[in-house]
Amino acid sequence: MTGRFSWFNATSVALGFAFLYIPILILIIFSFNESKLVTVWGGFSTKWYGELLQNEAYLNAAWVTLRIAFVTATVATALGTIAAMMLVRSGRFRGRTLFTGMVYAPLVMPEVITGLSLLLLFISIGMDRGMLTITLAHITFCMCFASVVISSRLVTFDSSLEEAAEDLGASPLDAFLSVTLPNILPAIAAAWLLTFTLSLDDFVIASFTSGPGATTLPMKIYSSVRLGVTPEVNALSTILIGLVATGVIVASLIGKRAERITEAT
């Protein structure tokens, strides 16, 4: 049954989008404000972006965040690929239900619970909190997202192509590298971009597992806002919004390209 247009539905959707995106749009506009007062428009200017590039505290936090996000995305995508292969290709095996639940649990688990449980784990084993603990926590959180993206591609992949390569003398590893991997590569790239964006944007889990000298960009923004919103915070938030939006859009485009390739084959 097809849905019919109604002014109530259209108005509800419009109000919902306005509530979500108008504040973001205002933040972006006022990041180009000449005035130091964030609520008073004083003319167009990009000087706060220049001031931001000279702020060592923000630059250090950005460098920490980018390093954590890169390592997280790489490791989480690799582990997510292995988990997806197990879920899609291994058939029934003892403990499959438990394994599936453990892989997908972070998708529905509140981030506060995930961060608190990881904090208690690091304390119990005596691990000093810092970049390593944030990275491990982000890998744990992001791996399930990578697994979901890659599993959706593996489900539609024709495994007979890999079997044909093995019949022609290729080893299972060679068949995977030469046949399966090129076909699921767009999904792997989309998973990498998605996990990179999730790590870049995370605040809750990082705040639980961070330590001295390991302040991420979202944490730095939050601590700065508590002392008052400044135009530099608006500029930094605008850059972060741009990075996250770009990552999501590129991942979506790669995913759609993979779907078109699947339909063509």
pLDDT at position 261: 61
3-state secondary structure of 180: helix
Q: Over its length of 265 residues, how does the chain's per-residue pLDDT go in tens digits?
A: 455 667 888 888 888 888 888 888 888 888 888 877 777 777 888 888 888 888 888 888 888 888 999 999 999 999 999 888 888 777 677 777 787 788 888 888 888 888 899 999 999 998 888 889 999 999 998 998 999 888 888 887 767 777 777 777 777 777 777 777 877 888 888 889 889 989 988 889 998 998 877 888 888 888 877 777 777 888 888 887 887 788 778 777 776 776 666 566 5
pLDDT at position 28: 85
Dihedral angle at the C-alpha atoms of 15, 20, 26, 28, nearest 10 degrees? -140
What kind of fold does domain 53-264 have according to CATH?
MetI-like fold (1.10.3720)
Q: What residues contact 263, with CB distance under 8 A and at least 6 apart?
A: none
pLDDT at position 205: 92
Two structure tokens written together for 113: 């619970």
Beta strands (DSSP E) in 75-232 are none
Total-model pTM: 0.78
Dihedral angle at the C-alpha atoms of 32, 37, 38, 40, nearest 10 degrees? -80
3-state secondary structure of 33: strand
Helical axes 131-156 vs 231-264, angle rounded to 10°: 30
pLDDT at position 1: 44
Residue in 183, 189, 164, 166 with CA at minimum distance from that of residue 264: 183
What amino acid occupies position 68? Answer: I
Q: What residues contact 83, with CB distance under 8 A and at least 6 apart?
A: 103, 143, 147
Residue owning tokens 């991942």:
251
Two structure tokens written together for 35: 């005035």
Residue in 191, 178, 185 with CA at minimum distance from that of residue 147: 191
d(C-alpha 123, C-alpha 141), whole Å: 19
pLDDT at position 67: 92
d(C-alpha 50, C-alpha 184), whole Å: 41
Per-domain residue ranges of the chain: 53-264
Contact 197, 248 (CB under 8 A): yes
Whole-angstrom CA distances from 238 to 26, 47, 48 are 10, 14, 11
Whole-angstrom CA distances from 128 to 74, 125, 155 are 23, 9, 41
pLDDT at position 77: 94
SS3 labels along 47-107: HHHHHHHCCHHHHHHHHHHHHHHHHHHHHHHHHHHHHHHHHHHCCCCCCHHHHHHHHHHHH
